[in-house]
Structure 1
Amino acid sequence: MSPQLTKICLTIAASILCVACQTNDVKPEANPMALTLTGQVWQLTSLAGIPAKTGENKKSVNIEFLTEKNTYRGYAGCNNYSGSYDSSGRKLEIGPARATRKFCQNTSEQESKLFNALSAVDNYKIVDKTLTVTNDLNQILAVFTAN
């Protein structure tokens, strides 16, 4: 074999060997788009396993957790509400809601159930765009989706 052909063969062999030695493992990077408790409005999709009704004027029932002073605010279907919360890891404690005092026949029962559920929250988890809040027995109280 000529010296030039030998050099070409060695170059090709070395290239193949280098490619074969490379790993195809791709380490997953932290998802910069992963949702957190704060930073978006969460729309209620179900309450105690029952699909949520829209509120007055077809407006969605929602909650938003704010980092400023650990407060939350939302729309319960008829009334606006707010309060404070405390969160650490997956633990979540939601303080009593202060709400406006309008009465809406079609949404008052759901509002009452929402406020009771929020006061019983002990844990939360976020998977994809879904926030699920549970009590201390790990029973699902409410499910929200990112708006």
Structure 2
Amino acid sequence: MKGTMRIPGYLVTLFAVLWLAGCTSSPARHGSGGDVVAMPLTNTYWQLVSVAGEPVPETDSEQKAHILFLDDGRVSGFSGCNQYMGKYRVEGENLLFDSMSSTRMACPDNQTEGQLFAALAKTVGVNLGGIELRLLGEAGEELAVFEASRMR
């Protein structure tokens, strides 16, 4: 046929694969069987979703309470009012925080900050699955829950 261009089948397949890859937006990665693979502890932005068994209240603040673990053993974050930083170490299934400090801005009625700092002080374990990070106390109780989130 004159004037008709035929696109090779492999190009159509390649285009379809690239288009589908661009449509995925989930922060968790999927394994070969479709199961969700845990986000890594380090270099992931973990947004606080609950602390002391209570959901974190919504705020008008652009910056949400979060924690970030760095590869070199440092940890930093935002409590909802103050920046905090310190050190952490992982020993087997134990996660321990050390040398924690924070800025000292006055915060009107910021209950989340006090609960978060108490949870960090009591943390001895961690449960990491999918996009959730759970800080655990000595008896295995859940102290705080974080969710992997995109940096804003």
TM-score normalised according to structure 2 size: 0.70
Which of 117, 122, 143 is the matching residue for 1:120? 122
Q: Is the Cα–Cα contact under 8 Å of residues 82 and 103 in structure 2 kept in the other structure?
A: yes
Quote the RMSD (CA, aligned, Å).
Answer: 2.1
Q: Which residue pairs with 1:71 in the alignment?
A: 74
Q: Which residue pairs with 1:60 in the alignment?
A: 64
Q: Which residue pairs with 1:91 in the alignment?
A: 94
Query: Structure 2: how far apart are the matches of 1:100 and 1:56?
Result: 20
**Larger % of helix: which?**
1
Post-superposition, which runs of at least 4 consecutive aligned residues in structure 1 deviate over 6 A?
A: none
Query: Structure 2: how far apart are the matches of 1:55 and 1:73?
Result: 20
Unaligned regions of 5+ residues in structure 1, if any? 1-27
Q: Which residue pairs with 1:131 in the alignment?
A: 133
1:5-41 per-position Cα deviation (integer Å, ceiling 9, x unaligned): xxxxxxxxxxxxxxxxxxxxxxx68x89631211201
Unaligned regions of 5+ residues in structure 2, if any? 1-31
Query: Structure 2: how far apart are the matches of 1:56 and 1:75?
Result: 15
Query: Structure 1: how far apart are the matches of 2:59 and 2:142?
Result: 22
Matches within 5 A, 1:1-147: 34-54=38-58, 57-68=61-72, 70-107=73-110, 109-147=111-149
> In the comparison of the two structures, how many residue pairs are matched?
117
From the CA coordinates, give the structure whose radius of gyration is larger: 1
1:64-119 per-position Cα deviation (integer Å, ceiling 9, x unaligned): 01112x01000001100000011123210012421111011032x22111111101
Query: Structure 1: how far apart are the matches of 2:38 and 2:85?
Result: 25
